[in-house]
Amino acid sequence: MKNFLMVLFLSSCAYVHHHQVGELRTPAGHVMRKFEVLVSENGFSVQEAGAAAKAALRNHNGEAAERFAAILSLFQMGPRTGNPVWSSEKYADGVFEKLYEKCPSGQITGLSSTREMNKYPVVSGEIVKLTGYCLLKKTNTVRKKI
């Protein structure tokens, strides 16, 4: 129970793993519209699951569950950011198309990329976030909208 409470206690919400700021251009005759693109996948912490299982099961195979988690975690060795995800890493591949959806002109500036994690006990949200500015030509219609 103590381990389980520790897991809960030490869980926080938002972790930043990486942040990168891109070049900022402000060409004349354009206005900048801010946009955000976000893709995410569910992550799973085997270690926390093992600790939680041990605490919940106590004498009923709790140790075995923890050992199983330890063996499973051997398959997830190596440097990484956040937790391993359910499926593959392909969830991040869609950001390119999403950028064009947000800014069809393709004139993007100030593109910042953030790799972050929303963490909860055992599970997590593994997030890739891109924010930037879409450059729009200054017209009367655009001025009114912005």
Distances (CA, A) of 24 to 21, 57, 110, 128: 9, 54, 4, 20
- Residue 66 vs 116, nearer CB to other proteins: 116
- Residue 73 vs 112, nearer CB to other proteins: 112
Secondary structure of residue 115 in the 3-state scheme = strand
Within 10 Å of residue 59's Cβ, how many Cβ atoms?
A: 6
Cβ-contact 4, 49 below 8 angstroms: no
- Residue 21 vs 70, nearer CB to other proteins: 21
CB of 57 to other proteins, least distance (A): 26
For other proteins, the binding residues (CB under 8 A) are: 10-26, 110, 112, 114, 116, 129, 131, 133
CB of 20 to other proteins, least distance (A): 4
CB of 12 to other proteins, least distance (A): 4
Q: What is the CA radius of gyration of the chain?
A: 21
CB of 122 to other proteins, least distance (A): 16
Taking the C-alpha atoms of residue 103 and residue 34, their distance in angstroms, rounded to an integer, is: 10
- Residue 62 vs 132, nearer CB to other proteins: 132
